[in-house]
A and B are shown apart, each in its own frame.
Chain A
Amino acid sequence: MNRTRFAVVVPLIFIPVLITGGAVRTWAEDNKTPYPSMAPLDQYLMERNAEIAMARSAAPESISGDAEVRVLGRHGYETAAKGKNGFVCVVQRSWISPFNDPGFWNPKGRAPICLNAPAARSYLPLILKRTELVLAGRSKAQMFEDLKAAVDRKELPAMESGAMSYMLSKQGYLGDPVGHWRPHLMFFAPLTDPAAWGADLEGSPIIAFNGKDDPERVTVFLVPVGHWSDGTAAPAD
């Protein structure tokens, strides 16, 4: 696997993993990005059925077909389809990126994800909380402080053992530099030294976002796979 290419690509993409990456000191760079502030809300919203379909594209139909699906409304995520296998599929928006990601407010961002039951219980609340804050009109700095306070007050759950997710959608848009990037699985853990998984080392197939500087304090391990959710082959790197 080409680590150099990973090193270039990964920091630029918006995937939920990158919730962990923001450094407060760089927020001031927002005015240099193409997306210095939140766009009108309508630009982040989707036609409901299209959003349901996109959410389900995060995982093979055998998983997402029986999953709960949530879609983004004007006041937050709403349940659009009841599930029966414990998985929850949603389309994340760009504000799940790190706080210092230049694409944080990119209205084109669409990151379909299907979370297994432990992740639905422990990681989905982080997505919902960020979205709630955004839709309440909070600034990034306010969001950071709000999230930090929520973690301190234990209002957000700790990551559960076995929490993982699928991001195999060919339809996703993970950022301007990378488009839909590569299909991958993600494994969530409480703050963990990436070295404990051998992540981010030369030749390792595992990429880590350690989250130590972020309010949620979640480490995410990401492993690319060879096929999209529709069964077609993905690029090798």
Chain B
Amino acid sequence: MSKPMTDRIMLGAFVLVVVLGTSWQARGADAKAPYPSMAPVDQYLIADRNAEIALARTAAPPSISRDANVMVLGPHGYETAVEGKNGFVCMVERAWMNPFDSPEFWNPKNRSPICLNPPAARTVLPITVMRTKLVLAGKSKEEVMESVKAAIKKKELPALEAGAMSYMMSKDAYLTDKGGHNMAHLMFYMPLGTVWGANLVDSSNNVSEPFPGSPLLLAPTYKGNPEPMYMFLMGTGVWSDGTAAPM
């Protein structure tokens, strides 16, 4: 594989690995993690509501985000701050949308702007809302996971809709403590088992390359733990403001 391609994969993998996951077994190692437990709620909040709205909108080009619903995080969960008209929903996700075994699951610096298209807003957003509500209710990671699992079993969370995808093209995101903290990309949500020729980020922060050279990555988040879906990522090479991004 060529060096540029390796670099590209590693960049994506780096972001995925750091943002989205480490080993499942690492859950028990929280004591050694930089963020072993939840920080005070205030550290996750953005005091300036307008700043959070603006940050949420940076996830996608203005042509999309300016007409989107915007949700902001309050002390008890996400609240609608702006009613939209194109079916997209933009928000700033926090670190607890990482896999449950991520060492940064409780990283209070995480700010992950995302704009979900209408199918994703209907079927993926409820996961974010549920996880967040449970976290802010003081539940532990294990309790959050068990609650989500139970909700899936009882069909309280909607089944994934075809065509669900999202934008994460914010230059102002903070996805991880490491490196450049960021990566402009699209995400596609698919049923478990979907084969797209994507490379893999495993639960130990390693990238395996069953498909060297593929521009796609399969994120470690969700994947049945517990949410029953895959999340594919592909770099866009451009930020939402139109400037070039690393690819």
The answer to whether A227 and B163 have CB atoms under 8 Å apart is: no
Which residues of chain B are within 8 angstroms of A86 by Cβ–Cβ distance? 195
CB distance from A216 to the nearest CB of B (A): 18
- Chain B interface bracket (under 10, 10 to 19, 20 to 34, 35 or more): 35 or more
CB distance from A149 to the nearest CB of B (A): 26
The answer to whether B212 and A203 have CB atoms under 8 Å apart is: no
Interface string of B180-213 (1 = CB under 8 A from A): 0000001010110011110000000000011111
Interface string of A203-237 (1 = CB under 8 A from B): 11110000000000000000111110111110010
CB distance from B229 to the nearest CB of A (A): 11
Rounded to whole angstroms, the CA-CA distance of A1 and B60 in the bound complex is: 13
Rounded to whole angstroms, the CA-CA distance of A226 and B88 in the bound complex is: 27
Q: Is B50 an interface residue (CB 8 A)?
A: no
Q: Is A195 an interface residue (CB 8 A)?
A: yes
Which residues of chain A are within 8 angstroms of B241 by Cβ–Cβ distance? 203
- Chain A interface bracket (under 10, 10 to 19, 20 to 34, 35 or more): 35 or more
CB distance from A148 to the nearest CB of B (A): 24
Q: Is B149 an interface residue (CB 8 A)?
A: no
**What's the A-B contact tally at a CB cutoff of 8 Å?**
123
Q: Of A42-50, A71-79, A122-130, A159-167, which binds chain B?
A: A159-167
Contact residues of B between 192 and 243, Cβ < 8 Å to A: 194-197, 209-216, 234-238, 240-242
Rounded to whole angstroms, the CA-CA distance of A11 and B17 in the bound complex is: 38
The answer to whether A185 and B213 have CB atoms under 8 Å apart is: no
Contact of A226 among B163, B191, B215 (CB under 8 A): B215
Q: Is B139 an interface residue (CB 8 A)?
A: no
Interface string of A91-126 (1 = CB under 8 A from B): 000000000000000000000000011100000000
14 more A-B contacts (CB under 8 A) besides A226-B247, A227-B215? A1-B238, A59-B197, A59-B214, A60-B197, A87-B197, A161-B191, A185-B216, A185-B234, A198-B167, A202-B61, A203-B63, A204-B61, A205-B169, A225-B234
Binding site for B on A (CB under 8 A): 1, 59-63, 85-87, 116-118, 161-162, 164, 166, 168, 185, 187, 189, 192, 195-198, 201-206, 223-227, 229-233, 236
A-B contact pairs, 6 of them (CB 8 A): A1-B238, A164-B196, A196-B117, A225-B234, A232-B2, A232-B4
Q: Pick the 5 closest A-B CB pairs, nearest first.
A: A203-B61, A60-B213, A231-B2, A226-B247, A201-B63
